Structure 1
Amino acid sequence: MDQGKRDIWLCIAGIVVLSLLAGCPDKPSDGVAVAPVPSPSRQEQKPWEQPGTEVGQEIVGPDGRTLVWVPAGSFRMGSTDDEVDQTLEQMDSELTPEQKKHFHAPRWMLAHELPARTVEMDGFWLGKCEVTNRQYWEFCQQTSRAFPSESDEGDDHPVAQVCWEDARVYCEHYGLSLPTEAQWEYAARGPESRTYPWGDDWDPRKLCWGGNKGPDDASSPVGSFPDGASWCGALDMSGNVYEWCADWYQYDYYAGGPSSNPTGPGSGVKRVLRGGPWNARGQQAFRCPNRNFHDVDYRSAGIGFRCASTIE
């Protein structure tokens, strides 16, 4: 073969070799081919540890139940003076003539909802429904904790008779947390700052409450009122059971609390409750800004919880 043809073939061979090398994985110094490895931090993250992509996006959480994505945004937390006055008038109107002789709704009952303020929130995941008896039973089997003996409704009813510590331990067992009071209210009201999860008008058909309790005079299976869903798709944010929140309760916290991702005071005696229970009759208890609280060891047939996952 003459020199010219030899040069042409060497050139072609070089191109082929370069093409093959371009498609090969990187090789270490010992010549053993290895596939590219994803970033460890991303590889180890669970779906509930990563941001969602759209409001109401659903994923399966670590305890097998659905979490919904609550995107970052702002909302008006609390109530205005006019809203407090209107609610007090509503409460008085629900009293019988005999009750009105001895009682009226004092302003201090709702003053802890004041002042209303704009709060900025980061995105987070929230349980679409409250934790059920079945879920809590499975948790007790895994941890050797005692199941609350008086939480005796059906498997799909919200677990009740759990104190704040019970709720916290359940959430942490699955790598989750209780929602903060601000997270809870934001998920219930949304950027429009609704009075009720479904809107601004009271509708007794959209929740489990004292006016439409079933024949067993108790809670309902979680998710039984889809028309009462909040803006992010969370169900039973009003009614069924009160829900423990992560925060310590402080009467005047709104007056000086931070305006970005508030987490409550640093210490306290009682913990926050939100949502309104199945055995309450006054509609004021089911407003999104309504606040309640109790001792950390308190248990009741009207108190349960749901979980959240805050994105770090």
Structure 2
Amino acid sequence: MAKRKPATTAAPRASSAASGPVGHLGRSRRLLLWATLLFACPALIGFAVSGAMNARAKPAVQAVLGDGVRGPQGMAWVPGGEFLMGSDAKMAQANERPAHKVRVHGFWMDEHHVTNAEFRKFVEATGYVTTAEKKPDWETLKVQLPPGTPRPPESAMVAGAMVFVGTDGPVSLEDFSRWWRYVPGADWRHPAGPQSSIAGKDDHPVVQVSYEDAEAYAKWAGKRLPTEAEWEFAARGGLTQATYAWGDKFAPDGKQMANVWQGQQARPFPVMSAKAGGAVGTSRVGSFPANAYGLSDMTGNAWQWVADWYRADQFRREASTTSVIDNPAGPSDAWDPADPGVPVAAPKRVTRGGSFLCNEDYCLSYRPSARRGTDPYNSMSHLGFRLVMDKDSWDKSHGRSQLARVDVPAR
């Protein structure tokens, strides 16, 4: 069952009743879609732990990349271990606090986002139809809307997805509907609408995929989505509470380290340069340096779905225990009181990593601790995913006995 809902980029840097905290979608994506439907149908109107941990030296880690024999092709080994999850740094938002001790087990992770070419193979092999390609389903749409919201007519329920369209000039950052639009016909093949194309972008991250789509791909590929803890551990690349995935400086020695708006676009967010011709978007995977584990684009380029339900207070709940939390799988439900107009218990999954739209004025979500909650049926032009695989799953899939298994480095 599929449906479509409005979305925004990550929320503004400065928290307010109108904008919400960084790493959060801000006001309801659902309400933006609803506004689109109402417009079409007028008859319906009725960081880092502060000071305490300063060791930021590059970890002495050798990347272990799978080759199809000694590990899954296209995946890197993440050794696991104990780390401080979340952040107490000045720029950290409430949903990132407090930093708390977590231990994760070792796992394999895709070296980069799932690409357009890889997703195409899945679709061709299975005939799968994504959420964005289906007419919105009222049952999955209404749970994100205020109780009693009337159902729109069938003529208004058209397949499509949320697309970043930008603005012609500077605007208030309080109203995301100025730069996001629900576009009929937008989907993974046409991420900016029916006239757009992914031709020549086989090695870009696939976007306009929902959590449901990512789960379907994972099942087909024999993998799974990472937990939130696994994702953050992998994104940190062995660094202790660094501000960014690569260290504490945004552009060390003037070098751009990720595909984010800051440093990539000449004009302030969300202004689209006429000269650029709307070129803002994803970049080829691996365009920027990989971290110590061999993982590219852990932050920037496209947001990434992870497995956990989103609770704004999850880190506070985890930090209430004095022990190290072992391999957490996340909460059993969703809870987000900071999304006006959306029921606090509306289903949301965690998304991580930020995207090409993140910038210092509006979104600082290209930090390993930044997090937000997103409706699992939401598809957007800056949202994709990558997958993980447990070592035992790889060993079993290749018929290795306990004695024949290839050892991988562990902590």
Question: TM-score surpassing 0.5?
Answer: yes
Which structure is higher in helix share? Answer: 1
Of residues 91, 104, 116, the one that matches 1:87 is 91
2:232 to 177, 185, 200: 185
Q: Distance in 1 between matches of 2:126 and 2:384?
A: 19
- Among 189, 202, 205, which residue is 2:250 paired with? 202
Counterpart in the other structure of 1:176:
223
Q: Per the alignment, in what secondary structure is the counterpart of residue 373 of structure 2?
A: strand
Q: Tell whether 2:270 aligns with 1:211.
A: no
Alignment of 1:1-312 (within 5 A): 55-60=62-67, 66-80=74-88, 83=89, 86-87=90-91, 110-146=93-129, 148-151=188-191, 152-153=197-198, 154-191=201-238, 192-203=240-251, 205-213=256-264, 215=276, 216-226=279-289, 229-257=290-318, 259-268=325-334, 269-282=347-360, 284-312=364-392
Give the aligned residue type for 1:132.
T
> What is the alpha-carbon distance in structure 2 between the residues aligned to residue 298 and residue 65 of structure 1?
30
SS in structure 2 at match of 1:176: coil
- Offset, 1:73: 1.0
Contact residue 197 and residue 231 of structure 1 kept, 8 A: no
Give the Å deviation of 1:213.
Answer: 3.8
Give the superposition deviation at 1:171.
1.1
Residue 213 of structure 2 aligns to a residue whose secondary structure is helix
Deviation of 1:55 (Å): 4.9
In 2, are the aligned partners of 1:56 and 1:232 still within 8 Å (CA)?
yes
Partner Cα distance (2:303, 2:280) in 1: 16
Which residue type is aligned with residue 157 of structure 1? Answer: H
CA deviation profile, 1:132-152 (whole Å, cap 9, x unmatched): 000000110011013624233
Q: Distance in 1 between matches of 2:121 and 2:353?
A: 25
Task: Tell me the TM-score normalized by structure 1.
Answer: 0.69
SS of residue in 2 equivalent to 1:125: strand
Contact 2:311 2:333 in 1 (8 A): no
Q: Secondary structure at the match of 2:91?
A: helix
Aligned equivalents of 1:116 and 1:209: distance in 2?
25
Between 250-259 and 181-190, report the one with greater CA deviation: 250-259
Q: Which amino acid aligns with 2:86?
A: G
Letter paired with 2:229: A
SS at match of 2:280: coil
Quick check: 2:228–2:306 contact (8 Å CA) kept in 1? yes
TM-score normalised over the length of structure 2: 0.53
Q: Which amino acid aligns with 1:87?
A: M
Structure 1: runs of 5+ lacking an equivalent: 1-53, 89-109
Give the Å deviation of 1:114.
1.0
Percent identity between matched residues is: 36
Contact conserved, 2:96 with 2:369, CA < 8 A, in 1?
A: yes
CA distance in 2, matches of 1:208, 1:65: 25
- CA deviations 1:73-109 (Å, max 9, x no partner) are 11110011xx1xx217xxxxxxxxxxxxxxxxxxxxx
Residue 50 (structure 1) aligns with? none
Q: What residue identity is the alignment partner of 2:385?
A: F
Aligned partner letter, 2:287: S
Gaps in structure 2 of 5+ consecutive residues: 1-60, 131-187, 192-196, 266-275, 319-323, 335-346, 393-411
Cα drift, residue 60 of structure 1? 4.1
CA offset digits 1:196-243 (Å, max 9, x no partner) = 1111221260110112447521110000012xx222111001100000
- Residue deviations 1:237-286, cap 9 Å, x none? 11000000010001111122371111111233100000001122226211
Deviation at 1:297, TM superposition (A): 0.5
SS in 1 for 2:205: coil
Higher relative contact order by CA 8 Å / sep ≥ 6: 1 or 2?
2
Which runs of at least 4 in structure 1 moved beyond 6 Å after TM superposition? Answer: none
- 8 Å contact from structure 2 (residues 282, 356) kept in 1: yes
8 Å contact from structure 1 (residues 179, 246) kept in 2: yes
